[in-house]
C-alpha cells in the first residue's frame, strides 16, 4: 500500500479523503513541531508528503526518500521547501492558494481597526489599573475614514483587504511589480504608485506580497524614516519582508506610530523589545487560523496527493 507522511496534525476531513483513496497515512502528533531528525526517519519509504509551512523540507529531507512523488505544502507560502531542488528530482511541490484569502483579509482588517483605535491598549488598561471615567482628551485613537491605506501586493488577499477597507472610506493606493488592469483598479478604487510614494503617502501600510529575493527586507530603516510619524505598519504576509530589527528601532524612536505583526522574521521567536511597546499588536500567525480556511486547505493537499496517486497532475504546482 502506498503511504503518506503528514508532519503535523491536520483536519480529519483530509485524512478521510486519503483513507477513502486507500492510502496508508502516518501523521505526526507529537508535542511541538516535528524535528528534522524525526522527519528524516519518518520520510524513508513514503510515497507522498503533506507538510505545514512551519516544517523545513530541504535537500536532506528530499534525498532521504528517493520514492517521494509529491510535496503538498499546507499553506499558501512555500519558502519552507527547497522547491527548485524538488523540481530537479521531478517532485512537484504544491500549495493552497485562495483558501486563506477571506480569513487573512479579515484578520488584517481587524488589526488595522484595533491598532488605530488602541483597543489592545484599552483592554490592558481595564485589566490592570482601570480608568477614572470618560474625558474629552482621554485615550484618543484615530478614525480610518479619509485616511490612506497603502497595500504592498494587490493579489487576492490584498484585493480582499482593499474591498473591506474601502467600505471604511479609506483611500486605497498600492504597489507591486505590475499594475493591475483599469477595470480592477476602478472596482477597488485603488491607485497604482511607486513604493517610495506609497511609503510617504500612507497612513496605514499593509503587506500582502510573497517572500522572495526581491521582497526580502522590502521595508527597512530608510522606508521607516520616509513614513509619516502618525502611520501604522501591518504585516500579515511573511516576516522577512520587513527588516524587523530596524522596525523595532523605528518604533522605539517614535518614527512611526505603531505596528501590528502576525508573522515574524525568525518565527516563532519574537524580539522582547516589541513586547514592551504598547503601540504594537503581536498575534501568533493566525492569518488563516479559521475552521473554514484550514478545512479548505486540508481538502486541497489531500486531493492533490490522491491525484498523484491516480497518476494525474496535481493542482497549484509552484515549481
pLDDT at 122: 97
Question: Residue 77 has what pLDDT?
Answer: 83
pTM: 0.91
Residue 93: per-residue pLDDT? 98
3-state secondary structure the chain: CCEEEECCCCCHHHHHHHHHCCCEEEECCCCCCCCHHHHHHHHCCCCEEEEECCCCECHHHHHCCCCCCEEEEECCCCCCECHHHHHHCCCCEECCCCCCHHHHHHHHHHHHHHHHCCHHHHHHHHHCCCCCCCCCCCCCCCCCCCCEEEEECCCHHHHHHHHHHHCCCCEEEEECCCCCCHHHHHHHCEEECCHHHHHHHCCEEEECCCCCCCCCCCECHHHHHHCCCCCEEEECCCHHHECHHHHHHHHHCCCCCEEEECCCCECCECCHHHHCCCCEEECCCCCCCCHHHHHHHHHHHHHHHHHHHCCCCCCCECC
Query: pLDDT-based confidence at 2, cuts 50/70/90?
Result: very high
Contacts of 23 (CB under 8 A, 6+ apart): 1, 2, 3, 4, 48, 305, 306, 309
Per residue in 58-91, pLDDT (tens digit) is: 999 999 999 999 999 999 889 899 999 999 999 9
Nearest CA to 285 among 319, 237, 234, 225?
A: 237
- Per-position b or e across 163-175, b if 16+ CB within 10 A of its CB: bbbbebebbbbbb
Task: For residue 205, name the pLDDT band (cuts at 50, 70, 90).
Answer: very high
Pick from 215, 280, 152, 234: nearest CA to 271:
280
Structural fold of domain 3-99+291-310? Rossmann fold (3.40.50)
For the stretch 257-279, pLDDT in tens is 999 999 999 999 999 999 999 99
CATH number assigned to the domain with residue range 100-282, chosen from the 4 options 3.90.1150.10, 3.40.50.720, 3.60.130.10, 1.25.10.10 = 3.40.50.720
Query: What are the pLDDT digits (tens) for 167-188?
Result: 999 999 999 999 999 999 999 9
Confidence check: pLDDT of 223 > 90: yes
Give the pLDDT mean for 285-308.
97
Q: Determine the length of the chain.
A: 319
Whether the bond into 193 is cis, omega within 30 of 0: no
State the CB neighbour count (10 A cutoff) for residue 29. Answer: 9
Percent of the chain with pLDDT over 70: 100
Our CA angle for 94, 54, 28, nearest 5°, is 90
pLDDT digits (tens, 9 = 90+) for 116-156: 999 999 999 999 999 999 999 999 999 999 999 999 999 99
Average pLDDT score over residue span 307-317: 97
Q: Which of 143, 145, 140, 149 is nearest to 121 (CA)?
A: 140
Domain 3-99+291-310 identical in fold to domain 100-282: yes
Q: How confident is the model at residue 293 (pLDDT cuts 50, 70, 90)?
A: very high
Query: What is the spatial distance between Cα 158 and Cα 174, in angstroms, rounded to a whole number?
Result: 9
Q: Rounded to whole angstroms, how far apart are CA atoms 103 and 55?
A: 22
CA-angle at 262, arms to 256 and 263, nearest 5°:
100
Residues with a catalytic annotation lie at 238, 267, 285
Q: Provide the β-strand partners of residue 281.
A: 260
The pLDDT score that the predictor gives to residue 1 is: 77
pLDDT confidence band for 164 (50 / 70 / 90): very high
The full set of domain ranges for the chain reads 3-99+291-310, 100-282
Sign of dihedral through CA atoms 99, 103, 108, 111? negative
- Calpha distance 101→178 (Å, rounded): 20
pLDDT tens digits for 33-60?
999 999 999 999 999 999 998 999 999 9
Structure confidence at residue 92 (pLDDT): 98
Amino acid at each position: 500500500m502506498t503511504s503518506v507522511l503528514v508532519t503535523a496534525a491536520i483536519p480529519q476531513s483530509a485524512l478521510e479523503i486519503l483513507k477513502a483513496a486507500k492510502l496508508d497515512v502516518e501523521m505526526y502528533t507529537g508535542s511541538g513541531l516535528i524535528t528534522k531528525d524525526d522527519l528524516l526517519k519518518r520520510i524513508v519509504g513514503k510515497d507522498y508528503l503533506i507538510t505545514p509551512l512551519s516544517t523545513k523540507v530541504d535537500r536532506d529531507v528530499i534525498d532521504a526518500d528517493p520514492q517521494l512523488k509529491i510535496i503538498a505544502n499546507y499553506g499558501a507560502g512555500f519558502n519552507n521547501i527547497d522547491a527548485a531542488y524538488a523540481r530537479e528530482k521531478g517532485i512537484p511541490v504544491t500549495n493552497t492558494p485562495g483558501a486563506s484569502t477571506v480569513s487573512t483579509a479579515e484578520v488584517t482588517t481587524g488589526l488595522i481597526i484595533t491598532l488605530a483605535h488602541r483597543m489592545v491598549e484599552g483592554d490592558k488598561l481595564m485589566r490592570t489599573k482601570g480608568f477614572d471615567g470618560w474625558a474629552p482628551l482621554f485615550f484618543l485613537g484615530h478614525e480610518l475614514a479619509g485616511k490612506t491605506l497603502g497595500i504592498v501586493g494587490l493579489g487576492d488577499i490584498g484585493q480582499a483587504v482593499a474591498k473591506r477597507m474601502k467600505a471604511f472610506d479609506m483611500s486605497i493606493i498600492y504597489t507591486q511589480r505590475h499594475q493591475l488592469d483599469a477595470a480592477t483598479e476602478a472596482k477597488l478604487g485603488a491607485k497604482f504608485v511607486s513604493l517610495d510614494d506609497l511609503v510617504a503617502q500612507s497612513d496605514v501600510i499593509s503587506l500582502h506580497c510573497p517572500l522572495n529575493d526581491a521582497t526580502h527586507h522590502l521595508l527597512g530603516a530608510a522606508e521607516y524614516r520616509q513614513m509619516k510619524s502618525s502611520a501604522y505598519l501591518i504585516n500579515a504576509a511573511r516576516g522577512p519582508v520587513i527588516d524587523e530589527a530596524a522596525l523595532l528601532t523605528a518604533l522605539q524612536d517614535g518614527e512611526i506610530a505603531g505596528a501590528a505583526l502576525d508573522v515574524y522574521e525568525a518565527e516563532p521567536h519574537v524580539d522582547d523589545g516589541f513586547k514592551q511597546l504598547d503601540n504594537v499588536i503581536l498575534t501568533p500567525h493566525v492569518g488563516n487560523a479559521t475552521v473554514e480556511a484550514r478545512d479548505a486547505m486540508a481538502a486541497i493537499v489531500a486531493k492533490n496527493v490522491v491525484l498523484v496517486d491516480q497518476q494525474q497532475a496535481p493542482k497549484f504546482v509552484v515549481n
